[in-house]
Chain A
Amino acid sequence: MPFIHPAIFWTGLAAVAVPILIHLLNRRRFRLRDWAAMQFIRQALRRHRRRLQIEQLILLALRCLIIALLAAALARFTGCGSLALLPSAEVGRTTIFVLDDSVSMGQKLGPTTAFDLATADLAEQLDLLPDGETVAIRRTSDRDDSPLFAMNFVTDRTSLVTKLQTLQPSDGRADLAAALGWAQQLLSDQSGAKRLVLLGDFRQVDLQSDRVGAVRQAVASLTDAEVDVIVMDYGRLAQANLTITSLKLVDRFVIASSEARVAVTVRNNGAETARDAPVRITLRLPADGDEQATIDLQLPVQTIASIEPGGSRRIEFDVTFARAGSAALTASLSADELAGDNTAHLDIQVREAIRVLLVDGRPNPAVPTDSEAFTFAAAIDPSGVARSGARVDVIAVDDVSAAVFEDYDVVALLDVAELPARSDAEGPTGYPQLDALVQYVRNGGGLVITTGQRVNLSFYNGPMFAGGNGLSPYRIGPPKGDPVARQSFVRLDAKRIDPVHPFLRFFQGERQVLTGFIRFFAFTPAEEFALPSDPAAGADTANAAGVSPPRVLARFTDQDASPAIAARSFGRGQVVMIYSTISPRWNDWADDQPNGIYVTPIQDLIRALARGQGRQTSPAIAAPMTYTPPKAFADAPAILKLPSFPASDLVMLGSANGDGGDAARLSYAGTHEAGIYILTLDLPDGRRHVALLARNIDPAEGELAPAGRDGLTVALDSNAFQYIQRTAGTSVGVVQTSKREEHWLWLMAALAVLVVAETFLAQRFGHHSAAEATDQGQGAHPQ
């Protein structure tokens, strides 16, 4: 119905019967008058009867038409197509254009792209707009306070069209809900006819997100506010489109000169099977020279044999980084229908080595091999020059107060009696180094605890156990066995070794039997099922958050099947506790054993516990970027090159200490581009630190399946929009809105003409109502 209020029109149309009823009723209401000159009345009637009938019909038709037009005007007639061509019908209208500039709009449509076609359509619509129309344009990537064109009259269409022609799709997703909310707010302040033109690809994946509820609500509000919503759909089902959905570091960290495992996952979002798809890997490293901050190295191309439509393939490859520092990997595919999803980036912090701190409970013995740390350190770094990828520092327990745990990836307490206490006159009041150690593990550090003869049970079962929420997984009892006599021993129960944890990965499969080479002459029994002696006093509820229950990785073969090795997650870090010495003092594990039975699990243990690099993938765009530079560069001014540099300007971030905060970190929130950001910190003495940070597009942008009209109707729970499917090589022309282009001005003009015509004709025909003051003759007999 071409009316905003059809009910009013139908009611008004029924009122067309009113003149007819009045006419009929008037025929029943008359005055009775005795009259002598009947012959003249009859004579006049004979001569004018036909004329009178025609006149009455004309007047009746005019009056009915007046009422019908009045009904149409009140019902807010929105007209038909031909009426829309009337020049002044849309004066005072407000039109808001929302342009989807998400990655998916870069899809090729013949010789052009969906985005180029949309901008061309937008330029055409701007050119066709009548003067006096208020316009606002916003890309989906724009912020509310900085749209592409703020609400105003278009005074310089040429420059605006030129600006449109230079636009490119962004690297972001289409946040329709935000754009519609913005449009809704703008239009609520406008009077007159209102239009909202949405130009986008309206993919199924967009309409299945958690934001579709907000979109639906916004469309409903706009429809209620009598906004004419026009959807121009540029979406197409892709024939050939591969998307890199993930570029991920398989290892938890990368050590210089060591191989790092990287995985790339490619999804086929096209309709055809992809065969022999090459994946090119580029390694970007900071350059030594001043002129160029980075250099790119091409790594061997990986090839994916085939991917079925809708399927994904993951390939893994090793990359060796020659030196420590910042690096970035870029995986890219060959060109297809959508170029924006063919690339993914991964920034990597390459360490020189895993830094391990061994706190020796038996330091400085007469014979160095008698120290608790000797064999352990030798197993971690046999060469002593970090060739294995780990560098070991050993300190005595007395020196632990000066240790900074945060400088290490793994800390090991080896037969440490207890950590130094802070005391006053009444006794110990706390263990500051224990608190520091707890915080260190919580922040992702790894902790190894071994027991031995020196272990202070009250310390381990007290503050270390913390009522079950401490670093020590279990309460422990006095040592069992005689390590001196070595008459009896237990072994690791080969059948009860945890198959998952990397520490004991060595003893999986056929190598289970190798546990038989290890004899434990003494051990500290863990009270696996014991409750805290004083739960109310001992339970440290403040530490409970992020602390998982302990897990037994291996058990002794004693009759109690006592835990030999236990582990627990503690915050972002992990704790592994070995209930025996790591030195040969209580066992012969570290003795000259064949097949790396000692060295390999220790190396696995260190790698399993070492602090990871935080994340294995680079985040999506718009995620705020933070970076903690080395302490030496905390005061250095930071300069950030965006991925689009040199097309974009450099960003000056100041120094990490500039804000005076405790954490000397650099932060940047404007990460709206996918790619590699290059952060450069220069010191006055010429030293430079370069960090590479990456941001990726949302891989869902590669899913191009359009929702179409039906999908939109279902998703929006409304069909109150005009849908235009766009194809390349055609123009839209004037968009004839389905409704709400009101023509009441013309209706009122027609109404006025009809009223004038009716008045004139009524007077001309002698039907005009005049005062009947003289119509009160004596002979009148009102009935």
Chain B
Amino acid sequence: MSQLTDQQNSDDLRKYLDPKVLAKISRLDLQARLVVEGFMAGLHKSPFHGFSVEFASHREYAPGDDTRHIDWKVQAKTDRYYIKQYEEETNLKATFVLDASESMHYARDGGMSKYQYAASVTASLAFLLQQQQDAVGLAVFDDDLRAYIPPGAKANQLRRMIHEMDVVEPRRKTSLESICHILAEKIPRRGLVCLVSDLFADLDGVLRGLQHFRHYDHEVVVLHVMDADELTFPFQRNTMFRGLEETGRLLIEPRSLRQGYLEAVDAFCHAVKRTCISHRMDYKLISTADHLDAALLTFLAARAAAVRKAGAKR
């Protein structure tokens, strides 16, 4: 009976995770809570964890903690679960690098724009990390760094991030490489850098910027957000495509060009993925048509599997 009730609650929550529904929820914090609480119901542990090795104290076990860090001796004595805490107070310093260029403004059918979708993803993941007592930060950029909030674990950190994401409007061109170089210098300690972008920029430049993060031993996660139209090119009639970010105009018959377009998109995505993997970066292509929870769940599950695999090697 209780299982049925949980399942019903889960379904009720999921119906709000449709991007079209989320688009109607203006407050990012509410979106993030909705998303995270939705998928966290079935998640056993957090795929994110700290890197400190020197023991400092114990703290009580919280859901999502890695069971490997449970101090079984203390449990035997006290019959309660405690986690070994190390010298570092914060487990993880995560910085979300959010693309706010004009190309992220594209949306279809009254749904979420790529920027809105990316902001929701960012807020959701930040909310998740904050729940794990991790430090989260935010960098919003277009051709310049529009906002930067260093990673922190304070209670209002998430609200600051959300505020910054709310006030930014995508208008300008992308200059991802230079932003990466700037941020790499601004984030001195190694941590997690999560780039959320459509990557519509010079791919080599993007990679050079991301490699800069890797140079400082940051773990890099690339969340490649693309609109469903950009992935399927469903247009029929003659269309004058007016390029965002001042990329000119083109009058074409979409039906005849679809195959070539899809090949180009596919080649691009494969190139990005291949490059990310080769440089030990996590890569996830997300369509704005995907339900947010599903998108995040698959990403987090894949990442958890990767973490387990890395732990086993250690």
B242 touching A33, Cβ below 8 Å: yes
Binds B, one of A104-112, A490-498, A627-635, A768-776: A768-776
Q: Provide the A752-783 mask, 1 if CB < 8 A to any CB of B, else 0.
A: 00000000000001111111101111111001
B252 touching A40, Cβ below 8 Å: no
Contacts of B198 in A (CB 8 A): 36
Provide the main secondary structure of the chain A interface: mixed
Contacts of A36 in B (CB 8 A): 102-106, 114, 198, 200, 227, 230, 243-245
B108 touching A41, Cβ below 8 Å: no
Contacts of A776 in B (CB 8 A): 109
Provide the main secondary structure of the chain B interface: mixed
B247 touching A33, Cβ below 8 Å: no
Indicate if A42 sits at the interface (CB-CB under 8 A): yes
State in angstroms the CA–CA spacing of A55 and B108 once bound together: 31
Partner among B243, B257, B260, B263 whose Cβ is within 8 Å of the Cβ of A35: B243
Partner among A30, A40, A55, A779 whose Cβ is within 8 Å of the Cβ of B265: A40
Indicate if A366 sits at the interface (CB-CB under 8 A): no
Partner among B106, B109, B237, B241 whose Cβ is within 8 Å of the Cβ of A41: B241
B residues 222-242 in Cβ contact with A at 8 Å: 226-227, 229-230, 234-242
Given A36-B230, A45-B250, does the pair A31, B244 have CB atoms closer than 8 Å?
no
B236 touching A775, Cβ below 8 Å: yes
Partner among B237, B245, B252 whose Cβ is within 8 Å of the Cβ of A772: B237
B260 touching A47, Cβ below 8 Å: yes
Indicate if A20 sits at the interface (CB-CB under 8 A): no
Query: Closest residue to B260 on the A side, CB-wise?
Result: A44
B255 touching A31, Cβ below 8 Å: no
B109 touching A777, Cβ below 8 Å: yes
CB distance from A323 to the nearest CB of B (A): 110
Query: Closest residue to B226 on the A side, CB-wise?
Result: A37
Given A30-B238, A37-B200, does the pair A45, B252 have CB atoms closer than 8 Å?
yes
Indicate if B253 sits at the interface (CB-CB under 8 A): yes
Query: Closest residue to A770 on the B side, CB-wise?
Result: B236
Contacts of B109 in A (CB 8 A): 776-778
Indicate if B155 sits at the interface (CB-CB under 8 A): no
Indicate if B259 sits at the interface (CB-CB under 8 A): yes
Contacts of A166 in B (CB 8 A): none
Contacts of B258 in A (CB 8 A): 766
CB distance from B293 to the nearest CB of A (A): 24
A767 touching B242, Cβ below 8 Å: no
Contacts of A778 in B (CB 8 A): 107-111
Given A41-B250, A777-B109, does the pair A48, B241 have CB atoms closer than 8 Å?
no
CB distance from A403 to the nearest CB of B (A): 116
Contacts of A31 in B (CB 8 A): 235, 237-240
Contacts of B102 in A (CB 8 A): 36
A44 touching B257, Cβ below 8 Å: yes
CB distance from B58 to the nearest CB of A (A): 50
Given A40-B268, A772-B236, does the pair A35, B248 have CB atoms closer than 8 Å?
no
B residues 202-219 in Cβ contact with A at 8 Å: none
State in angstroms the CA–CA spacing of A545 and B240 once bound together: 102
Contacts of B107 in A (CB 8 A): 778-779
B251 touching A30, Cβ below 8 Å: yes
B241 touching A33, Cβ below 8 Å: yes
B239 touching A33, Cβ below 8 Å: yes
Query: Closest residue to A782 on the B side, CB-wise?
Result: B237
CB distance from B244 to the nearest CB of A (A): 5
Contacts of A56 in B (CB 8 A): 256
Contacts of B244 in A (CB 8 A): 34-36, 38
Query: Closest residue to A780 on the B side, CB-wise?
Result: B239
B237 touching A775, Cβ below 8 Å: yes
Indicate if A536 sits at the interface (CB-CB under 8 A): no
Contacts of A45 in B (CB 8 A): 250, 252, 257, 260
A44 touching B235, Cβ below 8 Å: no
State in angstroms the CA–CA spacing of A41 and B200 once bound together: 13
State in angstroms the CA–CA spacing of A45 and B250 once bound together: 10
Indicate if B72 sits at the interface (CB-CB under 8 A): no
Given A33-B242, A774-B234, A779-B106, does the pair A41, B252 have CB atoms closer than 8 Å?
yes
Query: Closest residue to B198 on the A side, CB-wise?
Result: A36
Contacts of B256 in A (CB 8 A): 52, 55-56, 765-767
Tell me the A residues contacting B by CB distance below 8 Å: 26-27, 29-45, 47-48, 52, 55-56, 765-772, 774-780, 783
Interface CB pairs A-B, < 8 A, 5: A33-B239, A36-B106, A40-B265, A40-B268, A780-B239
